[in-house]
Amino acid sequence: MTLYLIGIGLNDEKDITLKGLEAVKKCKYVYLESYTSILQVPVIKLEEFYGKKIILADRLMVEKRTNDILADAKENDVAFLVIGDIFGATTHIDLVLRAKALGINCEFIHNASIMNAIGVVGLELYKFGKTTSIPFPEKGFKPETYYDVIKMNKEMGLHTLVLLDLRPVEQRFVTVNLGIQYLLEIASTRGDGVFDENTMVVGCARIGGDFHIKYGKAKDLLTHDFGKPLHCLIIPGKLHFIEEEALKQWE
């Protein structure tokens, strides 16, 4: 039997590919990985369009109860749906490795990801450096790694895509505003000129859907309303004149 890993795109039920839909239709069990991203439509919309009941696979299920998914896939065709594209998280790769170790056939059906759809802002995808993410700070856990990644990319003239943490169950999301606030807080203690109120940034929301993009100084985007999640942030590196022109669309 086959475990299908299927990217379902960024926005709504209709972003699945034809190949993906055909695979879903023949699967007995359909899991939706529901913690690394969200769509702009409720799960019922997917169920209606796919004609299948969807089992939500949260972080605990994917990381701890992978055995259940694999046990299903040993006996039946199983779809594991991932919002965006399929290999955005280590746990997805782990799932495939474990399936293969059990002799389960795996098939991969790709889709658009935030990692390439972000090209809509007009920055050259090849000129992005390491991607980083801003997590929610917790008691005793306030990492600053993302600041160092931005610094490293800037030194090489590269753009930085900054993903923003999400807790879908609690409906909590790091917004562009919050991301900038955290960066300014770190910048005020470092004082190394990597980031300040006047740093030009690109704030993005709901790419692939009713997207909203704004290019401006950090201090201005700090209070700009980007609307519903998901959000992400770009700190541009050295700009080619075409990139400069493209960014003007969003000023």
Q: Enumerate binding residues for ligand SAM (CB under 6 A).
A: 10, 36-37, 82-85, 88, 113-115, 163-164, 166, 204-208, 230-232
Q: Rounded to the nearest 10 degrees, how much is the dihedral formed by the CA atoms of 33, 37, 40, 45?
A: 0
Four-residue CA torsion sign, 95, 98, 104, 105:
positive
Q: Where are the beta strands (DSSP E) in the chain?
A: 2-7, 29-33, 55-57, 78-82, 105-109, 132-134, 160-164, 166-167, 172-173, 200-205, 212-217, 231-235
- Cβ 15 to ligand SAM shortest distance, Å: 10
Of the pair 7, 237, the CB lying nearest ligand SAM is at 7
CB of 10 to ligand SAM, least distance (A): 4
Long-range contacts (CB closer than 8 Å, 24 or more residues apart) made by 122-126: 122/242, 122/243, 122/245, 122/246, 122/247, 122/249, 123/159, 123/202, 123/234, 123/236, 123/243, 123/246, 123/247, 124/159, 124/240, 124/243
* C-beta of 85 vs 243, nearer to ligand SAM: 85
Closest residue to ligand SAM in the complex (CB): 84
> Closest distance between ligand SAM and the C-beta of residue 231, in Å?
6
**Nearer to ligand SAM among residue 74 and residue 167 (C-beta):** 167
Nearest to ligand SAM of 61, 71 (CB atom): 61
Residue 108 CB, nearest approach to ligand SAM (Å) = 13
CB of 75 to ligand SAM, least distance (A): 27
If the CB atoms of residues 190 and 211 are measured against ligand SAM, the closer one turns out to be: 211
Find residue 233's DSSP bridge partners: 162, 203
Query: Would you say 37 or 160 has its CB closer to ligand SAM?
Result: 37
In the complex, least distance from residue 38 CB atom to ligand SAM, rounded to whole angstroms = 8
The two structure tokens encoding residue 100: 């293969």
CB 78 within 8 Å of CB 3? yes
Strand, coil or helix: what is 232? strand
